């Protein structure tokens, strides 16, 4: 199929996507907001008073969901939301944004400073690598990004904390699940309705460090 045809099909689906329309109506920056809501709300994971980091936060729809659930009287966020991304992100009231690579010591020092040395209740990651279409290369890239999120969570979560992480079905999937089960007490897959059926993306919810 020609590339132009694929782009037209994607645009048609995007314009007619009910979640795109709902996101626009609700003021969310992306339809991905509903993915986080579907995963986190039934678990009661986002609430006022928690410390949470949003990895790969741009354009900011997940940070918007976090803020919405954590805002208290007077529109003030109760707790702490820190968004991290190498890309710029438009400001969100009550959300601290750090632009940079969280593998860098300077970024981690700045994060620790803003957390006042406290551990996190929740880490959310909607990070995804740039995919090439070459299965073996893409599997390695997906695995690397997931490992970065897991490592970050293990180093920064409270013992009873949780991680919500995007992953893609493929050759690296079972290995990542196995790795998570080595460090978390509970690991379960989630495929929110807001995630398109044909998409290979799914999410893993991990709770309680071992």
Residue 126 among known ligand-binding residues: yes
Q: Which of 35, 37, 166, 207 is catalytic?
A: 166
Closest CA to 103 of 127, 79, 122, 121: 127
Task: Please give the pLDDT value at position 89.
Answer: 98
Read off the pTM: 0.90
Task: Please give the pLDDT value at position 106.
Answer: 95
- In Å, how far from its chain's centre is CA 84? 10
CB-neighbour burial class of residue 190 (10 A; exposed 0-12, middle 13-18, buried 19+):
middle
Element containing residue 53 per DSSP (H, E):
strand 51-55
User: Is the CATH number 3.40.50.150 carried by domain 30-209?
Assistant: yes
Q: Is the peptide bond before 50 cis (omega within 30 degrees of 0)?
A: no
Task: Please give the pLDDT value at position 167.
Answer: 95
Residue 96 among known ligand-binding residues: no
> What ranges do the domains of the chain cover?
30-209
Please confirm, yes or no, whether 113 is among the known catalytic residues.
no
Residue 17 among known ligand-binding residues: no
Phi and psi at 35, nearest 5°, equal -65, -45
């Amino acid at each position: 199929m020609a590339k132009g045809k694929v782009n037209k099909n994607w645009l048609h689906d995007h314009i007619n996507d009910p979640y795109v329309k709902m996101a626009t109506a609700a003021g969310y920056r992306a339809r991905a907001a509903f993915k986080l809501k579907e995963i986190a709300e039934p678990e009661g994971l986002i609430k006022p008073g928690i410390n949470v980091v949003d990895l790969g936060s741009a354009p900011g729809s997940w940070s918007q969901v976090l803020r919405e659930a954590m805002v208290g009287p007077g529109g003030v966020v109760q707790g702490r939301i820190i968004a991290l991304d190498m890309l710029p992100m438009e400001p969100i009231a009550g959300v601290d944004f750090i632009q940079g690579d969280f593998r860098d010591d300077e970024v981690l020092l700045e994060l620790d400073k803003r957390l006042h040395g406290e551990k996190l209740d929740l880490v959310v990651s909607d990070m995804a690598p740039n995919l090439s279409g070459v299965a073996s290369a893409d599997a390695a890239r997906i695995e690397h990004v997931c490992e970065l999120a897991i490592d970050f969570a293990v180093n920064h979560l409270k013992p009873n904390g949780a991680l919500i992480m995007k992953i893609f079905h493929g050759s690296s999937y079972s290995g990542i699940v196995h790795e998570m089960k080595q460090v978390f007490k509970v690991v379960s897959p989630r495929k929110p309705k807001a995630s398109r059926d044909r998409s290979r993306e799914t999410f893993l919810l991990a709770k309680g460090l071992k």
